[in-house]
Structure 1
Amino acid sequence: MDSIIFDLDGTLWDAIDTVLVAWNKRINQLDQVKNEVTREDFRGAMGLQIQDIGRKLFPYLDEETQAQVLNECCNLERDYLEEFGGKLYENVEDVLKILSQKYKLYIVSNCQDGYIEAFYTYHGLGKYFLDYENPGRTGLSKGENIKLIIERNHLTNPVYVGDTAGDLEASKYAEIPFVYAEYGFGEANEYNYVIEAFDELLDLF
């Protein structure tokens, strides 16, 4: 193994509480949205691409209005994440510091452009990662973005660490092993490895 590619939400951090504050602040200013979103709403949407999040959270809106609402919410979300951050899972930085001395580290997340950058800005963890990708920049699926990272960085034996069935499918698409972060938001019924806490990566690798 020469590298580890990480999912972000549910794998490295839980930013739902900060995102909720930002989204509901903007939602309360938008007449077309009926209700505030809840933490459970977001848990059920984690790992989805932004268009699918719009369909899940605002099914009563047409696609154009969904896109407008999402854009408004995501713009404020980035500002909030840069200012307030999210909740890192236990020992994340300590583990990344150790792993980065042996492996090349990357992030591929189903998020909008600027989200990973906000994670880097608030928590100061960008120094451990060599590259990152998301559909907000490329318009590609998670599996395609994983392949893009592999090709762009000439990786020969990577693994992907994530917490959802979507992460499993993306790993299969990219034809690389999947490490299931069981402590995260989602569920996966297949995996090559499983961890119940982030620091268990040190026992695996």
Structure 2
Amino acid sequence: MDSIIFDLDGTLWDSSEQVLTIWNEVLKKHGDLPEITKEQLASCMGLQSKEIGQKLFPQLSEEQQDEILTECHEVECPYLGDHGAVVYPDVERVLTVLAQKYKLFIVSNCQNGYIEAFYKSHQLEKYFIDYEHPGRTGLTKGENIKLIIERNQLKQPIYVGDTKGDLTGARFAGIPFVYASYGFGEVDEFDYVIHRFSDLLELF
């Protein structure tokens, strides 16, 4: 193994409370739309923007879904960049150790500015060599993982994530999958499992 590619939501941090508050503030401007619940938001973790729109606002046209999510994202990233969210216990300590031996990356199904907000608010950019997301490429998670592998000439990477979408992405890219069971999803197929972020130090 020469590298580790991480998912973000449910793996490195939990921004659900902050995002829920921000998105519901936006929805208040659209008086005919009900508030989103924490459970609804959690069910969207790991999905791409188009899938989130279909899941949360099935009564709206695709154009309206995109318009509302764009508005949510425009407010969300600057807020998270300034205020941050809940980084899981021991993340920086573990990244410090892993970065001495492995090349570290992030591939997340998010919009432009989201990973950058994570970096800015918690000063964690120094541990990662590269990152990718569909907001920049328009590609699926598996395609973005492959893009990171090819761009950085990785030989034996692994992917760490918490949802079935993460598993699918890792399998598409043909690399081992480490299931972060403390995150948002439930996955019954994996190559390794961690129950807390610090378990990575015991695995690798």
Q: Which residue of 2 aligns with 1:120?
A: 119
| Secondary structure of the structure 1 residue equivalent to 2:19 | helix
Residue 20 of structure 1 and its aligned partner are, at CA, apart by 1.0
Q: Which residue of 2 aligns with 1:78?
A: 77
Residue 83 of structure 1 and its aligned partner are, at CA, apart by 1.6
Q: Which residue of 2 aligns with 1:30?
A: 30
Q: What amino acid does structure 2 have at the position aligned with 1:182? A: S
Q: Which residue of 1 aligns with 2:202?
A: 203
Residue 84 of structure 1 and its aligned partner are, at CA, apart by 1.4
**Displaced runs of 4 or more, over 6 A:** none
Distance 1:181 1:68 in 2: 32
| Structure 1 gaps, min length 5 | none
| Secondary structure of the structure 1 residue equivalent to 2:41 | helix
Distance 1:30 1:43 in 2: 22
Q: Which residue of 2 aligns with 1:150?
A: 149
Say whether residues 1:4 and 2:12 are aligned partners.
no
Equivalence map 1:47-62=2 (5 Å): 47-62=46-61
Distance 2:81 2:90 in 1: 21
| Secondary structure of the structure 2 residue equivalent to 1:146 | helix
Q: TM-score, normalised by structure 2?
A: 0.99
Q: Which residue of 2 aligns with 1:176?
A: 175
Distance 2:33 2:17 in 1: 20
Deviation digits for residues 11-70 of structure 1, max 9, x if unmatched?
Answer: 000000111111111110124x52111111111000000100000011100000000000
Say whether residues 1:14 and 2:22 are aligned partners.
no
For the aligned residue pairs, the C-alpha RMSD in angstroms reads 0.7
Q: What amino acid does structure 1 have at the position aligned with 2:94? A: V
Deviation digits for residues 79-126 of structure 1, max 9, x if unmatched?
Answer: 210121110111000000100000000000000011000000000000
Residue identity over aligned pairs, in percent, reads 60
Distance 1:99 1:148 in 2: 22
Say whether residues 1:132 and 2:117 are aligned partners.
no
Distance 2:120 2:36 in 1: 26
Distance 1:52 1:196 in 2: 28
| Secondary structure of the structure 2 residue equivalent to 1:45 | coil
Residue 195 of structure 1 and its aligned partner are, at CA, apart by 0.3
Q: Which residue of 2 aligns with 1:88?
A: 87
| Secondary structure of the structure 2 residue equivalent to 1:198 | coil
Distance 1:79 1:151 in 2: 31
Q: Which residue of 2 aligns with 1:189?
A: 188
Residue 187 of structure 1 and its aligned partner are, at CA, apart by 1.1
Distance 2:113 2:173 in 1: 24
Distance 1:17 1:80 in 2: 12
Q: What amino acid does structure 1 have at the position aligned with 2:176? A: P
**Total equivalences in the alignment:** 204
Asked if structure 2 preserves the Cα contact closer than 8 Å seen for 1:19 and 1:80, the reply is no
Q: Which residue of 2 aligns with 1:166?
A: 165
Asked if structure 2 preserves the Cα contact closer than 8 Å seen for 1:81 and 1:118, the reply is yes
